Amino acid sequence: AAYRELAQELKRAFGFEAVAITLRESYSASVNGWSALMVDDWDCREGYRSRRYEIQLVDRVGGGDAFAGGLIYGLLTKGDTREALEFAVAASCLKQTIPGDFNLVSVAEVEKLAQGTGSGRVER
């Protein structure tokens, strides 16, 4: 709830059309929970929290960039902002399971995770 309020306040204070915030739950150095919240002027006025994934981390570097790139791609190609956010979270989730700065996964791999069983576990 606090992150939703923060996102709404950022929208008001700066006139943003949308605010997205990643939410990391650090259980250990190698296991994290990962999701995101988005508030926008179109589909998610009250706020929408994505599915939560449990990640066995390999490399956190590039996870934020993968989220931002995934969100831009999702906003340009998906039917609504909820789908775009789910795509972005899945893309950044997968990135954190491979070494290096770059997200070397395909759109098909991201979509498979985003539309998966709902368990929230990353399978590689």
Write down the pTM of the prediction.
0.90
User: How large is the C-alpha radius of gyration of the chain?
Assistant: 14
Instruction: Assign residue 12 the CATH number of its domain.
Output: 3.40.1190.20
Q: Is residue 124 part of a domain?
A: no
- Residue 48's SS3 state is strand
Nearest to 74 by CA among 7, 14, 20: 20
Q: Is residue 120 part of a domain?
A: no
Number of domains the chain contains = 1
Question: For residue 104, what pLDDT is reported?
Answer: 92
Per-residue pLDDT of the chain (124 residues; tens, 9 = 90+): 899 999 999 999 999 999 999 999 999 999 999 999 999 998 888 899 999 999 999 999 999 999 999 999 999 999 899 999 999 999 999 999 999 999 999 999 999 999 986 555 566 5
Q: Is residue 121 part of a domain?
A: no
Other beta carbons within 10 angstroms of residue 67's beta carbon come to 25
Nearest to 36 by CA among 56, 51, 58, 16: 51
| Domain extent for 56 | 2-114
Q: Is residue 122 part of a domain?
A: no
